[in-house]
Amino acid sequence: MSAPRKIIIDTDPGQDDAVAILLALACPDELEILGITCVAGNVPLPLTQKNARIVCELAGKPETRVFAGCEAPLMHSLVTAEHVHGKTGLDGPSLPAPVMPLESQHAVDFIIDTLRAEPPASVTLCPLGPLTNIAMAFEKAPDIVGRVQEIVLMGGAYFEVGNITPAAEFNIYVDPEAAKIVFDAGAPLVVMPLDVTHKALVTKPRNDAFRALKTPVGVAVAQMTDFFERFDREKYGSEGAPLHDPCVTAYLLRPELFTGRHINVEIETASELTRGMTVADWWRVTTRKPNALFIGSLDADGFFALLTERLARL
Binding site for ligand BDR (CB under 6 A): 14, 16-17, 42, 81, 84, 128-129, 154, 163, 169-171, 244-245
Q: Which C-beta is closer to Ca ion: that of 22 or that of 213?
A: 22
Q: Which of 30, 5, 7, 40 is nearest to 178 (CA)?
A: 40
> Is 18 in contact with 42 (CB distance < 8 Å)?
no
* Binding span for Ca ion by CB under 5 A among 55-63, 109-117, 129-137, 248-256: 129-137
Which partner in Ca ion, ligand BDR, none is near 243 (CB below 5 to 8 A by kind)?
none
Q: Which of 92, 93, 98, 129 binds Ca ion (CB under 5 A)?
A: 129
Q: Is residue 128 near Ca ion by the rule CB under 5 A?
A: yes
Q: Any contact of residue 169 with Ca ion (CB under 5 A)?
A: no
Closest of 90, 103, 97, 111 to residue 245, by C-alpha: 90
Angle between helices 246-253 and 300-311 (to 10 degrees): 90
Question: Catalytic residue numbers?
Answer: 244
Minimum CB separation of residue 37 from Ca ion in Å reads: 13
Indicate the pairing of strand 201-202 with strand 278-280.
Answer: unpaired
Considering only CA atoms, give the Rg of the chain: 18
Q: What's the rounded Cα separation, in Å, for the pair 9 and 126? A: 5
CB of 138 to ligand BDR, least distance (A): 20
Residue with Cβ nearer Ca ion (12 or 281): 12
Beta strand 66-68 with 31-38: parallel, antiparallel or unpaired?
A: parallel
Which one of Ca ion, ligand BDR, none interacts with residue 306, CB within 5 to 8 A by kind? Answer: none
The CA distance from 224 to 247, in Å, is 17
Query: What angle in degrees, to the nearest 10, is found between the helix axes of 45-58 and 15-25?
Result: 40
Looking at the Cβ atoms of 198 and 313, the one nearer to ligand BDR is: 198
Q: Decide: is 242 part of the binding site for Ca ion (CB under 5 A).
A: no
17 binds Ca ion (CB under 5 A): yes
Minimal distance in Å, beta carbon 50 to ligand BDR?
16
242 or 264, CB closer to Ca ion? 242
- Around Cβ 214, how many Cβ atoms within 10 Å? 8
Residues that bind Ca ion (CB under 5 A): 12, 14, 17, 128-129, 245
